[in-house]
Structure 1
Amino acid sequence: MPTDEAPPPGLLPGAEPFAFPGGTDGGGTGVLLLHGFTGSPFSMRPWGEHLAAAGFAVRAPLLPGHGTRWQDCNLTTERDWVDAVSSAFDELAAECDRVVVAGLSMGGTLAIRLAELRPDDVAGLVLVNPSLLTQRLDAKLLPLLARLTPSWTPIGNDVKKAGVTELAYPRLPTRAVLGLRRLWTATRADLARVTAPLLVFRSVTDHVVEPASVRVLLADVSSADTAEVLLEDSYHVATLDNDAPRIFADSVDWIRARVPAVERKTTGELARPCMEAAAARTRATSAGEEHS
């Protein structure tokens, strides 16, 4: 059963963080899912459900300043996002033998940053259209824009599939974008520290992130195990788009292939810490409700 964390006041319906316990097929592996800038775990939930069905423990936190009002995002910095990701990683790592970090857009940037800061802890990276830079003119004018206006018109809902709408802010918080740019700069500077296995999905047509981000990433990381998969039928928010089934299936296969063969033979034993920790959380929650 999924466990949805208590939502903060003013949370947009559908933006809730979520977690799924691991099963006997997951090999004791957890997957941390990270949403993008101005987005929410809504864009990661179908992927999380697929990973959980494959037996992996899953956690998708809501990043600070997200899922409420765009004004709240302007009150946060890249440090807040990095710290939140590190805390969520620790919570999942306490339950599992290893944790793979997956992210969409800025969530991919944060996943990379975590692998730079904690190279011995991150078991693998699965990234969908990660962002590391932009060459757009409005981005170059951002320092001026941030002084003149607190928000800007975003590209918005870059999804090719008809009838699908990403849950994200209707305005781009300009001060928070300055924090995103600082995150890009710090992450690009330390790419050589990334040694974890790396799988990157890149949409051929992406109106938000330029192809240069993935080119820089693959050129500069130290990972010996890297792969890029091109998505021909999706735009930027590919986890909700036409190629989502491929992302879901390929990521499961990729993660399973990187669990050592000797460990795959005893997946039931290795998955038990994930299941027992989830059961303990459920018992603690039930006990609290009985005494409330």
Structure 2
Amino acid sequence: MNTPHFSTAQSGDHAVLLLHGLSSSPLELRFLARYLAEEGFTTHTPELSGYSAGTGHARMEQWISAAVAQFDALAAQHRHVSVCGLSMGATLAAAVAQQRPSARALLLLSITLSYDGWAIPWYRFLLDYVYYTPLRSRYRYREHEPYGLRNEALRSKIARAMQKNEISEVGPASIAMPALHEASRLAGAVRKELKNIGTDCLIIHAIDDETSSPHNARFVESNVGAAFLRTIWLDDSYHMITSDNEREAVARECVLFLRESAATSAANNNPTPVVSRALARRLRQLATVAGKA
């Protein structure tokens, strides 16, 4: 399968590595990548061998190594490099931040440490056992309604693509058992090391996420070691928040957080003026609240 990756060349000094979901493609992050680019960030949304759709299967350690290599390539050219992931891509992004504490910010969108949302079939827990049977080479978990989307018009479009067994902008039609097994291993490893992540962290999650329940975001919020942490809850989206009804709000919050993180870093080394009007408004609001306290 030949799915495009998205990269943008900007003159700015802040690059963002964007990691898509399990066995999917950069299409999931196309809107966010373009939004960030318009705001002056360099973005790179790669395919990862053994992780992305159509690239075969590999162990989760190889997923991490491939993502870290992408991070290092960006770090060689940019002053700041942040990592953003969607779904299992957010879990992978956290693993990158564990290995690269120099990451400027970590953006976790619909992070998936457990497939425990309301639309997950009751037999999902049995798949961990199926992996150790001959079925593991034949079984594929097929995606189904609502495909991570509250937006009904977009959901209908995606349903047609899924019926043709195609990759779509919200993911693949099905996921192979080996990929699901390695995803479970990745999630377990990240859970154990969250306390060691000190990178500025933004969590955005839908309260009605049908794939990964809010428990996933709350677990990260309670256990991550970041001193600068923000959690944003969405009430008009399902799992695929970079494509659903609130995708623009998601993109705006990502931009704001990245700028705040970079501004804080600059202030610690060499105080500089506020770098955006949005950040200026936020700081004025905080000053007003502090003055009334």
| TM-score with structure 1 setting the length | 0.79
The 5-angstrom pairing of residues 153-232 of structure 1 reads 153-155=142-144, 157-164=147-154, 165=158, 166-167=168-169, 168-232=171-235
| 1:47-66 C-alpha deviation (Å, 9 max, x unpaired) | 11111111111111112245
- Name the SS for the 1:38 alignment partner: coil
Cα distance, 1:249 vs structure 2: 1.0
The total of aligned residue pairs comes to: 248
Secondary structure of 2:150 counterpart: coil
1:243 CA displacement: 0.5
1 CA distance for matches of 2:274 and 2:232? 30
Task: Give, in whole Å, the separation in 2 of the partners of 1:196 and 1:225.
Answer: 8
Q: Is 1:96 aligned to 2:81, yes or no?
A: no
- Give the Cα–Cα distance (whole angstroms) in 1 for the partners of residues 272 and 77 of structure 2: 18
User: Which residue matches 2:113?
Assistant: 132
Shift of 1:208: 0.8
Q: Which residue of 1 aligns with 2:9?
A: 21
Matches of 2:129 and 2:9, distance apart in 1: 46
The one-letter code of the counterpart of 2:153 is G
Gaps of 5+ in 2: 159-167, 276-293
Cα offsets for 1:89-134 (capped at 9, x unmatched): 1111111001111110011001111111222x21111111101124
Are the aligned partners of 1:155 and 1:207 in contact in 2 as well (CA < 8 Å)?
no
2:58 matched residue in structure 1: 76
Any unmatched runs of 5+ in structure 1?
A: 1-9, 268-292
| TM-score between both structures, scaled by the size of structure 2 | 0.79
Q: For 2:34, which of 49, 66, 70 is the aligned residue? A: 49
Give the CA deviation at 1:143. Answer: 2.9
Cα 1:229–1:47 change in 2 (3 A) is: same
- Cα RMSD of the aligned pairs, angstroms, is 2.1
Could you give the per-residue CA deviations for residues 137-163 of structure 1, whole angstroms, max 9, x where no partner exists? 433211332322431223462112233
